[in-house]
Amino acid sequence: MELPKDVYNEIERLIGSIVAPYVDPSNPALHFDELMAECKAKLARLIHDGKLTRCPTRAKFFAYLKTAFKNHVRSLIQKHVFCFKRSGIKPPEKGALNPPLKPIRLSLDDPDAAIQVGYWDNQDRPEDLLADFEQTLLEAERLVLHQIVEPNEMSMRLAEARRTAVSRISTRHLASGIGMPHQAFSEIASRIRAKCRKFIR
């Protein structure tokens, strides 16, 4: 079935008027061009399946198209905006008597929302965070932190000599490994923990 040019132009205007209220620049799937293309693909399927040949008059032809396009656009909105993955609300099963729920629209960049989802930068690595934290520490604190994060060989030898698993190296072993009194090591470790809590807030 081939559509006359004037009919096709009128269909394009119809599609434009249907998709315009649903355009959302913040959602790539709901840009004007995307919605237009989706409706044109729907038109191609209807023509291929011979559905439009069943419309005897021009009025019924356009009424059928209008309904088909509206339903298709609404299904796209359900898929890309109100789907279960985004809202946590499952759409009711066909024929179920579930009470109608008002759809919840969620957006990561909604300026009116009280809570925003944080941006995760792939460049943010634990070692970078540790390096930034070290800048807030005194020299002795850095020494203790390095010993806690990556115990030196002396600490491991001391732990092994007492037949202690490497994963259970005590603070006494860590302190002895860098030649520091245990009490001083413990006090510095406590200061590091307090600074760490403030740093990550």
User: pLDDT digits over 20-62, tens only?
Assistant: 988 888 888 888 999 999 999 999 998 888 888 888 898 899 9
In contact, 99 and 112? CB cutoff 8 Å: no
Give the pLDDT band of residue 70 (cuts 50, 70, 90).
very high
1-11 tens-digit pLDDT: 667 888 889 99
Give the pLDDT of residue 127.
65
Alpha carbon distances (Å) from 92 to 52, 72, 84: 30, 18, 11
What's the mean pLDDT in 67-77? Answer: 89
> Angle at Cα 139 formed by Cα 138 and Cα 141, nearest 5°?
65
pLDDT surpassing 90 at residue 91: no
Of 26-30, 85-89, 176-180, which has the strongest mean pLDDT?
176-180
Give the pLDDT of residue 69.
93
Give the pLDDT of residue 88.
52
Find, among 176, 153, 178, 179, the residue nearest to 166 by Cα.
153
pLDDT surpassing 60 at residue 103: no
Give the pLDDT of residue 41.
92
Compute the 3-state secondary structure of the chain and give helix, strand, coil in percent, each to the nearest 5.
65, 0, 35
pLDDT surpassing 90 at residue 173: no
**86/73: higher pLDDT:** 73
Q: In the chain, what are the domain boundaries? A: 5-87, 127-200
pLDDT surpassing 60 at residue 133: yes
Give the pLDDT of residue 165.
46
Listed in order, strand segments (DSSP E) in the chain are: none
**12/3: higher pLDDT:** 12
Give the pLDDT of residue 93.
60
